[in-house]
Structure 1
Amino acid sequence: MNVAQEFDPLYRAALALNLEHSHDGAALATITQTRGSTFRRAGASMLVLRDGRLICELSGGCPQRDIAWRAQQVIDSGQPALVAYGREANYDVMIETGCGGELEVLIEPLQVPRDLQFLDAIAQLRSRRLPGAMATVYAADGDVLGPRPQRLVQGEGVTWSDIEVDALRQQIAAALPTIDASMPKAATRRMSVDGRSYEVLVESLLPPHALVIVGDGVSARVLAELSVQLGWQTTLVDPAQTTTETSNGIRHIAASPQALATQVVLDHLTSAVVMTHRLERDLGYLEALLDTPVSYLGVIGSRQRAAQIQGALPHGHPRLHMPAGLDVGSETPQEIALAVAAEILATRNGRSGGPLTHSQMPIHP
């Protein structure tokens, strides 16, 4: 669950199971631990439906096929499973991927409405754009915890838990507030209570990244469509728009520079791109956006336009990305959208946006 942009499709698919009236169910596979080079990190989750469909696939390789096969067994049995892939077990599966690392995967059945309650709690936090944390108790004394893992979801104004051991729940609740941005997004901790040793996956829960695009041309629409594909909450501010509507995942609004902050959330998890291609209008929106904590603020245009904007703003503004986008030789609206989205992603993850060939940093943030 630690990849914010993957939650919505997984949650929609889980709700569509209609567990009140159907007993087909599904299985949720979550990576709990990794060691060395792996295709995904701890906290990544995939939903496996009884008909074989996969939501939020973990990878395209052999471990995913094996995980999906085991998930079908979990659906049939109604009991969770803890599967290790590494030198001690299922090593042949990992060898075929070429990753060379090891991982552990929790596979749990989703068969009754209460199995989805922790997802509802996460959705509450996301709807209010609040950060939080989730702890999943998935093993006790080395064995998978049954009949279900137990969880605590905690954030400002939201606390939900089905952890049965009070002392364990209190110990976990006391530990969660110590999580900060410098820690891994997800990691397994071992906690001891009353002589028993529990394995607990602790994950940070961040609101989804949001992108606000100000513009009314084809490039703005293409960037908005790509933003939706990336799982970002997308708002297209069109000065010519007469109504507020949402279509294909894009929220369309009309907002003047003065009213912008009252109609969209402009927080540190939001990026904004101004692309009206009209100098005075661009300046009006930029002046409004510069007073907000958005993490990325870009302007589409030529270098000449960028110089004009810098000259019109008092003291210039090093926060501005002008012209917006990575230098990939983009020309068409689709290529420009790709370059801009790539720069936003690199900025959010603290990366340079250069070739992986020349980077020694971990591939996954």
Structure 2
Amino acid sequence: MGGLNMSALTGAPELALDWHRAGRGAVLATVVETWGSAPRRVGSQMVVSGDGQIEGSVSGGCVEGAVMMEAIDALEACKGTLLEYGVSDGDAFAVGLACGGTIRVLVEPVGPVLDEDVLAELVAARSARQAVAYVCDGKTGGGHLVREGFDTRFRMDRSGVEEDGRFVAIHNPPLRLVIVGAVHIAQNLVPMARLAGFDPIIVDPRAAFGSEARFPGETIVDEWPDEAMAQIGLDARTALVLLTHDPKLDDPALHVALKSDVFYIGALGSKRTHAGRVERLSEAGYSQDDIARIHGPIGLNIGAAGPSEIAVSVLAEMVQVLRVGA
């Protein structure tokens, strides 16, 4: 307990940069369009080394071998290329799909097409949890990074081809869920959040609550909530859920969160409890707009009964705010 495991993100861009700088040669292959029941979503990536090593996937195993050969050819020719494959019904069934589909894969050799400096900037942004988009020609590759625009794509985590033919690859930081209060609801919410793609962090200075026995294998921070928030580093890809019912624990976290750009703040408690929370925050100098960011009572009104159903309502509200807006 007491530590954070914030290991560096390792994916296709990171491997491509490492392999290129090691002199092995590297090619990034990215799914840019799909039709039908394609095995992987747009934006999925595979990296191929000049000596034929591959990591990642663009089709769940259906066409990786063919993409590898085309990638090595592209590396030798110093050209980007757009590949198209049809995934047969038989191959689709083998990777767990009901029917086949078609995918287009953009192949970009690092160096001659995908500039090393651009790739290094992308890797640095991913490591720093900065949301960026890689924008390139959808047929030949070779692009640059942007940090503004494409608001809908960023919000929906949706890479894709624009009407003008540019391909936009969205690189959002992984989603995080910070839970203050290692209570029963948290025990239900943590595994649900993981299934939905969130990395949970539990904050509770009370050793009896925030224990390995209650949350096996999870990241637990046993600092006071305001100190924990500073240690974690709140950002726009973070949701904060307060479950303690105790102002001594909830309020310090709120004071930090309301000064951050977390996309969701939810606080457990009745309407009366929330009214008291609003009063305390108003007295502390927070504006009505600031306080309105807090979802309290927490969760969608689905008539939830019991910790597991409350956890469902909280997760649903988090996703709604993330994808649709407050």
Given the alignment, which residue of 305, 314, 317 partners 1:340? 314
AA matched with 1:151: G
Match of 1:210 in 2: 176
Match of 1:132 in 2: 132
Given the alignment, which residue of 324, 331, 340 partners 2:299? 324
Match of 2:219 in 1: 250
Distance 1:231 1:249, change over 3 A: farther
Given the alignment, which residue of 60, 69, 72 partners 1:73? 69
Match of 1:265 in 2: 233
Match of 1:297 in 2: 265
CA RMSD of aligned residues (A): 4.9
Given the alignment, which residue of 151, 159, 162 partners 1:181? 151
Give 1:1-365 correspondences, 5 Å limit. Answer: 8-11=9-12, 14=15, 23=24, 28-34=28-34, 42-47=42-47, 55=56, 63-74=59-70, 77=73, 79=75, 82-85=82-85, 90=86, 92=88, 102-108=102-108, 118-137=118-137, 139=139, 145=140, 149-155=141-147, 179-182=149-152, 185-188=158-161, 200-217=166-183, 219-220=185-186, 223-224=189-190, 227=193, 231-232=197-198, 234-240=200-206, 250=219, 252=221, 254-257=223-226, 259=227, 262-278=230-246, 280-283=248-251, 285-286=253-254, 289-290=257-258, 292-300=260-268, 305-314=269-278, 319-324=294-299, 327=302, 331=306, 340-350=314-324
Say if 1:29 and 1:67, in contact at 8 Å, map to a contact too: no
What is the SS of the residue equivalent to 1:344?
A: helix
Q: What is the percent sequence identity of the aligned residues?
A: 21
AA matched with 1:313: R
Q: What TM-score results when the alignment is normalised by the length of structure 1?
A: 0.57
Distance 1:132 1:16, change over 3 A: closer
Match of 1:360 in 2: none
Aligned-partner Cα distance in 2 for 1:328–1:77: 59
Q: What is the Cα deviation at residue 237 of structure 1?
A: 2.4
Per-residue CA shift, 1:222-260, capped at 9, x if unaligned? Answer: 64566566554544322247xxxxx96837351344x56
AA matched with 1:14: L
AA matched with 2:322: R
Q: What TM-score results when the alignment is normalised by the length of structure 2?
A: 0.62
Say if 2:62 and 2:87, in contact at 8 Å, map to a contact too: no
Aligned-partner Cα distance in 1 for 2:160–2:179: 35
Say if 2:39 and 2:60, in contact at 8 Å, map to a contact too: no
Aligned-partner Cα distance in 2 for 1:290–1:262: 13
Point out where structure 2 has 5 or more consecutive residues left out of the alignment: 1-7, 208-215, 280-287
Q: What is the Cα deviation at residue 296 of structure 1?
A: 1.5
Distance 1:190 1:111, change over 3 A: same
Say if 1:126 and 1:208, in contact at 8 Å, map to a contact too: no
Distance 1:217 1:19, change over 3 A: farther
What is the SS of the residue equivalent to 1:65?
A: coil
Distance 1:35 1:68, change over 3 A: closer
Aligned-partner Cα distance in 1 for 2:265–2:27: 40
Per-residue CA shift, 1:301-322, capped at 9, x if unaligned? Answer: xxxx423422313369664143
Say if 1:138 and 1:150, in contact at 8 Å, map to a contact too: no
Q: How many residues align?
A: 287
Distance 1:222 1:27, change over 3 A: farther
Q: What is the Cα deviation at residue 36 of structure 1?
A: 7.2
Q: What is the Cα deviation at residue 297 of structure 1?
A: 1.6
Aligned-partner Cα distance in 2 for 1:205–1:27: 18
Say if 1:94 and 1:101, in contact at 8 Å, map to a contact too: no
Point out where structure 1 has 5 or more consecutive residues left out of the alignment: 1-6, 140-144, 156-176, 192-198, 242-246, 353-365
Distance 1:41 1:264, change over 3 A: same
Per-residue CA shift, 1:148-194, capped at 9, x if unaligned? Answer: x4232244xxxxxxxxxxxxxxxxxxxxx6x3414684343587xxx
Distance 1:39 1:110, change over 3 A: same
Distance 1:48 1:309, change over 3 A: farther
Q: What is the Cα deviation at residue 123 of structure 1?
A: 3.0
